[in-house]
Amino acid sequence: MGDTALPNSLASCLYSPYSWSFGITSWSLTVTKTELATISPLAFINNAKLQYLLLGGNPLLCSCGNLWLKHFLGEQADTQKVYCLEEGVGSRPLSQLAPPACVPPTTMTSPSVITELEGRDVTVICTTSGVPVPTLEWDTSSIETHRKVDIVMPQATLTLANLSSFDNGREVTCTAENTAGGSESSVLLNVLFAPSILQLATPVLDHHWCIPFSVAGNPQPELQWYHEGKMVLEQIYIQTQIHDQSESVYHGCLQLDNPTHINNGKYTLVAKNTFGQDQKTVFAHFMPDIVESDLEPADGMAVYVIVGIAALASIGFILLLILLKFGRNSKFGMKGSSSVISNDDDSASPLHHVSNGNNTPSEMGSDLVMIGMTKIPVIENPQYFRSSSHLLQWNSFVRHIKRHNIVLKQELGEGAFGKVFLAECYNLSPEHEKVLVAVKTLKEASEDGCADFCREAELLTNLQHEHIVTFYGVCVEGEPLVM
């Protein structure tokens, strides 16, 4: 509501401090020329929004009961030209009202904040002053803790027995009132208690996988997760998220991004603070440990193809290492048709490679290998010698693939580095949304293992040939390292 004009019939109710309860709620109320003499502050107790009260033209008494109007109106009392009538004196501005023996009450609590352990007892004292002597009371309706109030003016003593953790963050209020007005002071309860895991549920799938939990504790507990007894090291793909909290209860989940069967198992949440700890365990199942046995023939054939490709890649890598290591200083001297090998360095070898040094493309096959004293013609395979400059492209860049684009499907076996999986990989090429690939993992992330891993990735990246297995890239986000 906006402005509200109160009829004379309703205005007369303001004489009684408890009779006006019509539920009028507005920010501005007009009560003018109604023969109104006194107004109790309780008349507006249900209208917390009231900001402007227009009272001009009313014969208000210069009494202690109207002193609160002076404080409420402030400068508006002069702006509205609100007057009050004093016996034997006549009218005077309400802003000058100063009746004798009329002092609004004050309240003070000690302490103002209670910090105590759950189960302990505490005592709070509220002291008041004012003329006439105020009434004093404690409002404890918001708490569950057992309480007792003793009032011996000008003090009211509140005793709280066996503090409850449910009351942490709540307030109790001391209120004082007399005819000149009212006052109140609040006491905040800070109840300390050990953590308690209220809920730990099985995983649910929303945008990410989430293991929901609710934990209570004050101060806020520290949370640590364990998977099959091993501490979970949180990172971008597995982390604790707090979604909602009250004064001492925290609701959240352990969020996992694209978990696989490797992430299946028991998850234990441990919550601890200064006053103790609590733990609970839940079993999480994100993906079957193995693919169902009723695979279609096409799927079974794909598995064999992937295994064959992985084996071929390993053999090609070993051959490439041998070529790189022994190719330059080999006693066979096989450096292409344009090279000339001196017999000085290789005289002790029973096998020598000889070339006349002036071969043309039409003279392929003119290279010779000497076994003892016999020269045997050798025809070079252009796939391995004449095109070697195209096989190794050392300036190429190893492609990095996001871990969330890799979805493991089935374990295929274990190689030199670690386990090999059948997987689906997304966004590898614009022609296909996903590609079935073999994924090799690095079992031990030692310095030597990482170095070997990087060397193999660089070699396979530079090995570009239609007859060699296609190498797509690596994933180094988190562990294990993957190619």
Q: What is the CATH number of the domain that holds 84?
A: 3.80.10.10
> Are 238 and 254 contacting, i.e. CB atoms less than 8 angstroms apart?
yes
Exposed/middle/buried for residue 32 (C-beta within 10 Å: 0-12, 13-18, 19+):
middle
354 within some domain: no
Q: What are the CA-CA distances from residue 97 to residues 65, 83, 92, 103 (Å)?
A: 11, 9, 8, 12
370 within some domain: no
Confidence label for 114 from pLDDT (cuts 50, 70 and 90): very high
Tell me the C-alpha distance between 166 and 242, whole Å: 20
Which of residues 273 and 27 earns the better pLDDT score? 273
Domain co-membership, 205 together with 275: yes
Domain co-membership, 214 together with 239: yes
Domain co-membership, 151 together with 177: yes
330 within some domain: no
Instruction: Tell which of 192, 215, 238 closes a domain.
Output: 192
358 within some domain: no
Give the tens place of pLDDT for each residue, 166-198.
Answer: 999 999 999 999 988 889 999 999 999 999 999
Q: What whole-number percentage of the chain has pLDDT above 90?
A: 35
Domain co-membership, 158 together with 187: yes
**Which of these ranges, 132-141, 262-271, 377-386, 456-465, has the smallest mean pLDDT?**
377-386
The number of domains in the chain is 4
Domain co-membership, 151 together with 117: yes
> Is 440 flagged in the annotation as binding?
yes
Q: What is the CATH number of the domain that holds 448?
A: 3.30.200.20
296 within some domain: no
Note the pLDDT of residue 361: 39
> Is 266 flagged in the annotation as binding?
no
Domain co-membership, 71 together with 118: no
> Is 428 flagged in the annotation as binding?
no
Give the tens place of pLDDT for each residue, 204-254.
Answer: 998 899 999 999 999 999 999 999 999 999 998 999 999 999 889 999 999
Domain co-membership, 25 together with 66: yes
38 within some domain: yes
Domain co-membership, 220 together with 253: yes
**Residues contacting residue 209 through CB under 8 Å, at least 6 positions apart:** 203, 255, 256, 257, 259, 286
Instruction: Tell which of 256, 284, 312 closes a domain.
Output: 284
Residue with token string 């910090």: 115
Confidence label for 430 from pLDDT (cuts 50, 70 and 90): confident
* Residue 193 phi, psi dihedral angles, 5° rounding: -160, 155
Instruction: Tell which of 284, 313, 340 closes a domain.
Output: 284
* Residue 115 phi, psi dihedral angles, 5° rounding: -115, 110
> Is 413 flagged in the annotation as binding?
yes
> Are 115 and 190 contacting, i.e. CB atoms less than 8 angstroms apart?
yes
Domain co-membership, 122 together with 84: no
> Is 412 flagged in the annotation as binding?
yes
pLDDT, mean over the chain? 78
The pTM (predicted TM-score) of the whole model is 0.55
Give the tens place of pLDDT for each residue, 12-65.
Answer: 444 333 333 334 556 777 888 788 888 877 777 666 677 778 888 888 898 888
Residue 360 clears pLDDT 70, i.e. is over it? no
Residue 253 pairs with which residues in a beta bridge? 212, 241
**Prior bond of 154 cis (ω within 30°):** yes
Note the pLDDT of residue 299: 58
Q: What are the CA-CA distances from residue 166 to residues 127, 189, 245 (Å)?
A: 27, 10, 14
Q: What is the CATH number of the domain that holds 177?
A: 2.60.40.10
Domain co-membership, 143 together with 211: no
9 within some domain: no
Domain co-membership, 208 together with 279: yes
Domain co-membership, 155 together with 209: no
Give the tens place of pLDDT for each residue, 124-149.
Answer: 999 999 999 999 999 999 999 999 99
Q: Which among 120, 136, 134 is positioned nearest to 174, based on CA atoms?
A: 136
Which residue range forms the structural domain that includes residue 452? 396-482
Pairing of strands 135-139, 171-178: antiparallel
> Is 402 flagged in the annotation as binding?
no
112 within some domain: yes
Confidence label for 201 from pLDDT (cuts 50, 70 and 90): very high
